[in-house]
Amino acid sequence: MTRHALSDRLAQSAIRFYQRHLSPHKGFCCAHAALHGGESCSAAVAQIVREDGLGRGRSRIAARFAACRAAHSALRSGSPMALGTGGMQVRGLCCCGPLPIPFRCG
């Protein structure tokens, strides 16, 4: 097994661990998914790793986390971009770091 294949498998295992054991405690949703709908960052990053690998997918992964941070800021500020979120309460952890994010998923 190549070094890249091993790092891809380790990344996928870490994402699955996060999704199964940590995400349920925070609400299964990141700020990006809360604001825009669609898949969470962990699901999006898992897809990127499957498609491109961890190394080649770095820029797409970074772009997704940047979009999640922007969504978090929009939700926290109540910007027009976040209209319809209805004053959600902030709780939990974001999938891309210890950022408190609003949850209203599902």
pTM of the shown model = 0.73
The confidence score (pLDDT) of residue 79 equals 67
8 phi, psi to nearest 5 deg: -65, -45
CA-nearest of 106, 92, 33, 35 to 45 is 33
Q: List pLDDT tens digits, range 19-64.
A: 999 888 877 789 999 899 999 999 999 999 999 999 999 999 999 9
Instruction: Name the residue range of residue 38's domain.
Output: 3-102
